[in-house]
Each structure stands twice: as C-alpha cells, then as structure tokens.
Amino acid sequence: MPAPLSSRICPPRPHRVSDAARLVRHRTFHRTERQLALPGRPALPSIAIEEQGERFSMAQSHMYSHTADRTIRPGNPAALDTENFSKDEVMMPTARSAPAIATAMAGDRAATDAVIHEFLENKAASAQAPTLLLFVDLLREFLDGGKRLRPLLCCCGWRAAGGRGDHASVIRIAASLELFHTFGLIHDDVMDASDTRRGRPTVHRRMASAVPARSDERFGVNTAILTGDLAFGWSYELLHDAGLPPAVADTLWQALDRMRTDTLVGQYLDLLHTGSCDADIAAALTIARFKTGKYTVEHPLRLGAIVAGATPEVLSACSAFGIPLGEAFQLRDDLLGVFGDPARTGKADVDDLRDGKPTALLAAARTRSTDFQRHRLDAIVGNPSITDTEAAEAREIIRDTGAVEYVEELIAQRLALSSSVVESGVFDTDGAEYLRYVASLATRRDN
C-alpha cells in the first residue's frame, strides 16, 4: 500500500533544504488535502507522489520557491489563474523571452516536419511495390495535424541540458518520436474502437470502406495495425543516420528501449481497467504516469538531454520535471475528454464516458458521489450505447461531486512540483525558460 502523501513528500531532507522551505511544503500539501474534502463529501485518499530521479534528491525535486507555494494557495491574490494555465506565473517565461522561445519552437516544429516529409517522400520514391504508397499516404494524412508536443519537448530537453551537440541530430530524434507517437495513436484508436482522431476518421474506420472489394470492419482494423507497425519500424529507421557519437547513441538506444517498455505497460494498464469502474485514484494516476507522464514528457526530455551530453543529475532532473508535468497533461486531457469542445480538441467528448476510461476524473467522481449518483454513473459510464442525454447527466453528476475541482487541484500540484525542479537551478538558464513555456502549453485548457 502506498505511503500517505505527507510521509512520501516530507521525508528527512539533506541540510541544503531550509526549515522554512520544509514548512512551506508541509503546510501547502496538508492544506490542499483538507481543501479537497468538500462539505458533505468524504475526503478522497491521499495521493502518493513518486520520488523521481536517481541522483536528483527529493530536496531538490520538491523544493518550493515562494512563487510555487503561491500557485496552490486559494484566496491568495497572486495564486495560480486556474481559468487559464497559459498565464501561469510560475511556468511561463518572462515576457521578453516568450516571443523568442515561440519563434525557436516554431522553427523546431518546421524542421521536424521537414525531416518527416523528406523521409516519407524517399519511401514513396523508392517503393518496390505500389501498395506501399497506400501506407505512405495514410501516414502523411495522419501526420497532418497534432501539436508535435513530444518533438518540441525533445528539443527543450536538449536546450535545458546546455544545447551542445548537433541540432540536426536532435531534430531527427524529434521526428522519430513523432512517428513512434503515430504508431501509438493508430493502435490506441483500434483498441478503443474510436471513430475520429484530430477531427477526421481514424485509420481503421477509413480503411473499412476504402477498398470496395474488402469493405468490412476487420479489414480496416488489420490495415490500421499494419500502418501502425510501419510507423513504429520507420521511427527507428530514422535514427540510424542521426550522426551521433557511438557512446551517445548507445545511451540513446537504452533510453528508447525503456520508453517503449513504459509505453506498453501504460497501455496495458489502460486496457485492464477500461470499462471495469474498478480503478481508484491511485490506479488512475499510475496509468497516467506510464501512459503519458513518461512517454509524453519524461522520455522526450531525456532523449534530447542525452544528445547534449547531460550529466546524470540533469537527466534525473528531466524525470523529476517531466513525470508530474506529464501527469498534469493527462489530467487536463481527461477533463477535455469529458468537458472539452470536440471542434477544438479534435476528438469526441463522449469516448471516455462510453468506454469507461480509468481516469482520475471518473475515479474521483465515483469516490465522492452519493449512492444514487454512483448508481447512475455505473449505469452510464462504460455503456457502449450511451446517449447524448445520458452523457449530459454523467457530466452534471461529475460536476456536482466536486471531481472537476479536485482534478484541477491535482494539476496545480503537479505544475508546482515541476516548477520547483526548474527553479532549483540544475538546468541551463536559457533552457529553463523553454521548460516553463512548454509546461504552460501542455496543460492549458484550450488544447
């Protein structure tokens, strides 16, 4: 059984942490736990926050600056603006640096897209069989969209570690990450039986009717699996000519192997608990950590930092920063998956309810609900034939239980944890500005 939150985040600290800083942490988290127990509702269980990093100490990774403390203190005029995380004073860079960062990141994205475009063009030009052109076209269409968050985080990790080494190598790794992400999304859509992705039919839905002689669901699913497999293989092929020194390449391949394993574990846990309504808060956060925290944020940061020749301390700091930020990203995505505007998010707002996804939002709602509310949630959530009226009822119950506010607090806590790592001074000064900027992008409400 995980230790209580208070004992996990407040163990004995090295001498470099002041008593005042220790008191700030203690008061902040215990105050937050009390505030999450709304009147008339049972308190939710404490959430254990995993220690991050092999050499990045708990003292460093959880050291709250005065600013970080203010972000989660309700009633403080300087508290976090929970209506717009893109204006978070902790994680946003200075006004002077933000335009330059946005320009640099736009350049990184354009360079990543150019590498992917050239790679697919070469595959099409050298195709031994015309059939391969079908898969190239499917991947081109699928890649036309998306936030490129993982490639951008890879570039941010490179800059946070000092920006040494060849930028072109980092871009090639970033492009590889996007193809790996494409593989994951295509297969995830198959497993979830999703109809749309980024506002368009999913690959398996499109291919179910694309070939007149084989217009059936099974053909579409099988073709989508092959398309995802191809994206997976090509993601590694992109790395073969990244031009990395042998020692760096060896470290990079080890990190990629770990990312692949963590992603599989997260996906399995998601499948295991989907539709069962048995995932509690801790289980939901574990899934978020493996499926998103590590794969979306931690590993891309570490991969970029490895190219820059990062020290073990910096690599551990990438984990200490990345995992809570990745969890915050997933928690935000969970909220958008139920309350988001499909026209803006590019995905249906009923899928998580229909599938009974093991999210912290749904787990919190069940924990805080009355017997009648829980009965209704159990009848609606996980129902493959859910109606719009039932979905609206489920949203109303979720709001009434205070689960939305609870998840917003979890997001704020994790942003504060990530912020404390950035402010510890372990990263390159200019690179830290990029981390602040990308953190605000990853958790904003209009994604």
pLDDT in the model for residue 299: 97
Place of tokens 């301390």: 313
C-alpha 33/C-alpha 410 separation (Å) is: 10
Closest by CA to 337, choosing from 319, 317, 361, 367, is 361
In the block, residue with structure tokens 């790395």: 239
Q: Radius of gyration of the chain from Cα atoms? A: 22
Residue 416: C-alpha distances to residues 66, 67, 78, 397, 422 (Å): 11, 9, 14, 29, 10
Q: pLDDT tens, 7-42?
A: 332 333 333 333 333 333 333 333 333 334 443 444
Asked if residue 142 has pLDDT above 80, the reply is: yes
- Could you count the other beta carbons within 10 Å of the beta carbon of residue 6? 14
Which range among 77-86, 174-183, 299-308, 328-337 shows the weakest confidence by mean pLDDT?
A: 77-86
Sign of CA dihedral 397, 400, 401, 405: positive
Q: What pTM did the predictor assign?
A: 0.78
What pLDDT, in 10s, does the model give residues 88-141?
444 556 655 888 999 999 999 999 999 999 999 999 999 888 889 999 999 999
Per-residue pLDDT, 316? 97
* Pair of tokens at residue 392: 């609206």
Burial class, 160, CB count within 10 angstroms (exposed 0-12 / middle 13-18 / buried 19+):
buried
Residue 87 gets which letter from DSSP? G
- The position carrying tokens 């269980």 is 45
CA distance 294 to 264: 11
pLDDT digits (tens, 9 = 90+) for 240-293: 878 888 989 999 999 999 999 999 999 999 899 888 777 789 999 999 899 888
* Dist. CA 340–CA 355, nearest whole Å: 17
Domains parsed from the chain with CATH numbers: 97-441 (1.10.600.10)
Q: Is the pLDDT of residue 54 over 60?
A: no
Residues 223 and 203: their CA atoms lie apart, in Å, by 8
Answer yes or no: are the C-beta atoms of 358 and 283 closer than 8 Å. yes
What whole-number distance in Å separates Cα of residue 75 and Cα of residue 307? 44
SS3 of 200, please? strand
Confidence of residue 87 (pLDDT cuts 50, 70, 90): very low
Spatial contact of 366 and 278, defined as CB atoms under 8 Å apart: no
Cβ atoms 101, 433 nearer than 8 A: yes
Q: And the tokens for 75? A: 């009633």
**pLDDT, tens only, 376-414:** 999 999 999 999 999 999 999 999 999 999 999 999 999
d(CA 117, CA 148): 14
The residues that bridge with 197 in the sheet, in sequence order, are 200
Q: What is the pLDDT of residues 149-165, one digit of tens each?
A: 999 999 999 999 999 98
H or E segment to which residue 201 belongs: strand 200-201
Q: How many CB atoms lie within 10 A of CB 311?
A: 14
